[in-house]
Amino acid sequence: MADKNHILGLDVGNTVIKAVLFDTAGRQVAQHAIDGHSTFPQPGYVERDLEELWRNGCEAIRQLLAKSSVDPRSILAVGCAGHGNGLYLLDKDQQPLIGIQSLDSRAADVAVELDRKSGAQLQSRCLQRPWPAQTPSLLAWVKRHAPDTYAQIGTVLFCKDFLNFRLTGCLANDISDLSGAGLLAFPEAKLDRELLSLYGLEDAVAFFPRLVESADIVGHVTAEVSALTGLSEGTPVIGGFFDVVSSAMGSGVINAGEASIIAGTWSINQVFADKPVISPDVFMVTTFGRDRYVNIESSATSAANLEWYVHRVRGDHGDHAFERCNDLVGSVSQRADDPFFHPFIFGSRLGAEFRGGFYGLAGWHGEGHMLRALFEGVCFEHRRHIGVLSEAGLPVDSAVMSGGGSRSQHWPQIMADVLEIPLRVAEARETGALGAAIGAAVAVGLYPGYEEAVAAMTRVASAYTPDAGQVPHYRRRYGLYTQLTDQLRGFWSALRLQD
């Protein structure tokens, strides 16, 4: 019989699904990623085919096992992390109905209306106000604008829940995703009709399956899935995580007071605590276990902007597309007259009307200057979020950085200079999958708790300190950036009225 000495972590983002195999010390053994497709049926709509997502998940696991030559019977458990919010619906026969991603903005007007009507009550109940890609805002939009679809709903899932369901045949939501979507009432951490009624969704309580903690075992790999993936039948599968939580754990953050910055699709800035912060300004609070809270400031204003630039502007889909961009950033030095970039390609929580753009371009500027402006703009939005956390009583004096932006040669240093704090970069490249694997390790008793698992399975790769010579430069530029943002609000509002 094979030794049980591996853990499988799955990380399902808005585009890519990654299957990563780790040993019990958290060292990566092998990984395989598959890039999926998003569709844009109308402006502001971002959707995915759930059957394609499942096919890609099976293929990623199959290819991973082939690469690793590991006996599938050696895998202790499977943990899955996925992007939060969005809306993944099954019909009453448990067949896919629609998959709306967390970059979607169709519910912007619904969210504004809900916030005006119930925002203060929601903030006090679930520590979050409505916003466009939030699960209940989208569900309220479907109820109002697609009643035929609403009538077919059998189950509301989150991204990783759909994979778990297909792996095990068991339906469940975990508390990290539900709380991160404004669907758990605090302090009791429960979903109830009273909370749903504040979204106008009191009839939706039956759509939500059983609620589990992230490290609870929800089911086991079925015989059918074993044949499709190569996984051993009966392998335990845990409830899993909202990916911002698993990415923080995979980067080494678990204790109260520790901070995590994720420069990925979203700008994620979070501080762990043993109790939630009560502030109308903080974006959300999520929980993944008893007395384990993550206070989060975030928006879709991070490295997704670089992905947009690379694929949509440069038209570069090669294996080294992002490395070429890093080289271009390194080819120019910063100057006082450098251009600015607003990283609002996928909108902003500051307002539904916000748009991205380059500003201050001159004839002597080239692509390197534009890319440096993009890097800086992303860092400026991280700084704004960190400022909100600090003002809410959660000062960030240092942090661990992860996500695609952390693997850049230049981005971590710019981030340290802009934030004016020391940064550590996690050794693990696939922190989301590692965090899910950490949860799986705890679930099967490999480690007695999260603290022990994180200590044993994570490491730091590099560290950055603010460059004293650059700090004044970035303070000035951040001031100009915020001034420009304020001055463009009226223009963006007028532009939106013409849409």
Instruction: Tell whether 462 is covered by a domain.
Output: no
- Token pair in block for residue 281: 């300004």
Q: Are residues 160 and 41 in the same domain?
A: yes
Euclidean distance between CA atoms 234 and 220, whole angstroms: 5
Cα angle 366-370-372, degrees, rounded to a multiple of 5? 115
Q: Does some domain include residue 62?
A: yes
Residue 116, in any domain of the structure: yes
* CB-CB contact of 240 with 174 (8 Å): yes
- Please choose, from the candidates 432, 430, 439, 428, the residue with its C-alpha nearest in 3D space to the C-alpha of residue 78: 439
Distance CA 173, CA 50 (A): 17
In this structure, the strands spanning 259-263 and 399-402 are parallel
Asked whether 464 and 412 are in contact (CB, 8 A), the reply is yes
Domain shared by 187 and 58, yes or no: yes
**pLDDT for the residue 336:** 86
| Residue 488, helix vs strand vs coil | helix
Of 176, 430, 389, give the one whose Cα is nearest residue 298. 389
Q: How far apart are CA 381 and CA 368, in angstroms?
A: 20
Residue from 8, 301, 383 nearest 164 by CA: 8
Residues 88 and 234 in one domain: yes
Supply the pLDDT for residue 499. Answer: 57
Domain boundary among 216, 251, 286: 251
Residue 265 lies in a domain: no
With respect to residue 171, please indicate whether it lies within any of the assigned structural domains. Answer: yes
Same domain for 99 and 208, yes or no, is yes
111 burial via Cβ count (<10 Å: 0-12, 13-18, 19+): buried
Domain that holds residue 190: 6-251
Distance CA 421, CA 153 (A): 47
pLDDT at 1: 55
Return the SS3 of 352. Answer: coil
- Residue 212 and residue 338 in one domain: no
381-404 pLDDT per residue, tens: 999 999 999 999 998 999 999 988
Pair (317, 205) in one structural domain? no
Q: What's the CA gap between 362 and 377, in Å, rounded? A: 18
Tally of structural domains, the chain: 2
> Is 298 contained in some domain?
no
Residues 185 and 47 in one domain: yes
Facing residues of 289 across strands? 292
Does residue 323 share a domain with residue 238? no
Give the pLDDT score at 317: 80
For residue 259, being part of any structural domain is answered with no
Please give the pLDDT value at position 498: 65
What's the sign of the alpha-carbon dihedral 456, 457, 462, 468?
Answer: negative
Shared domain for 227 and 325, answered yes or no, is no
Per-residue pLDDT, 202: 96
Do 129 and 11 have their domain in common?
yes
User: Using alpha carbons only, what angle is made at residue 429 by residues 428 and 432, rounded to the nearest 5 degrees?
Assistant: 85
Amino acid code (one letter) for 236: P
CA–CA dist 424, 241 (Å, integer): 23
> What residues are paired with 219 via a beta bridge?
237
Closest CA to 244 of 449, 420, 92, 385: 385
Residue 98, SS3 per DSSP: strand
Regions of the chain where pLDDT drops below 70: 1-2, 497-499
Residues 54 and 154 reside in one and the same domain? yes
Contacts by 252-257, CB closer than 8 A, 24 or more apart: 252/400, 252/424, 252/426, 252/454, 252/458, 252/459, 252/460, 253/400, 253/454, 254/450, 254/451, 254/454, 255/451
pTM above 0.85?
yes
274 falls within a domain = no
72: preceding bond cis by omega (within 30 degrees): no
pLDDT in tens, 239-287: 999 999 999 999 999 988 899 999 987 899 999 998 888 898 999 999 9
CATH of the domain at 399: 3.30.420.40
Return the percent helix, strand and coil in the chain, to nearest 5: 40, 20, 35
